[in-house]
């Protein structure tokens, strides 16, 4: 055997899968598809094993919430009362 523990093998698999999903999500930002959703999924996979991915995921969540609040405030859309 190569001397890789179960934990080490799990980290490698999570890294490969998470990175692949993350890169696919980045591609979907310029191609038609749910790019941000796939990026969230990739970072969530990576965050299960890596601290740096948790930090990126937290930053992405904060920035998307902030952008959503700005978009709602800027758009002027208001709920209309029922007729």
21-56 pLDDT per residue, tens: 999 999 999 999 898 899 999 999 999 999 999 999
**Is the residue at 77 inside a domain?**
no
Query: With contact defined as beta carbons under 8 Å apart, do 41 and 21 qualify?
Result: yes
* Whether this model's pTM surpasses 0.75: no
Parent domain of 32: 6-72
**Is the residue at 83 inside a domain?**
no
**Is the residue at 81 inside a domain?**
no
> CA angle, corner 32, sides to 13 and 52, nearest 5?
35
Q: How many domains does the chain have?
A: 1
> CA angle, corner 29, sides to 23 and 32, nearest 5?
110
**Is the residue at 49 inside a domain?**
yes
**Is the residue at 82 inside a domain?**
no
């Amino acid at each position: 055997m190569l001397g890789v523990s179960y934990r080490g093998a799990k980290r490698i698999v999570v890294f490969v899968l998470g990175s692949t999903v993350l890169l696919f999500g980045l591609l979907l930002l310029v191609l038609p598809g749910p790019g941000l959703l796939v990026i969230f999924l990739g970072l969530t996979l990576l965050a299960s094993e890596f601290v740096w991915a948790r930090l990126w995921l937290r930053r992405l969540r904060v920035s998307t919430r902030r952008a959503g609040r700005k978009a709602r405030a800027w758009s002027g859309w208001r709920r209309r009362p029922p007729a």
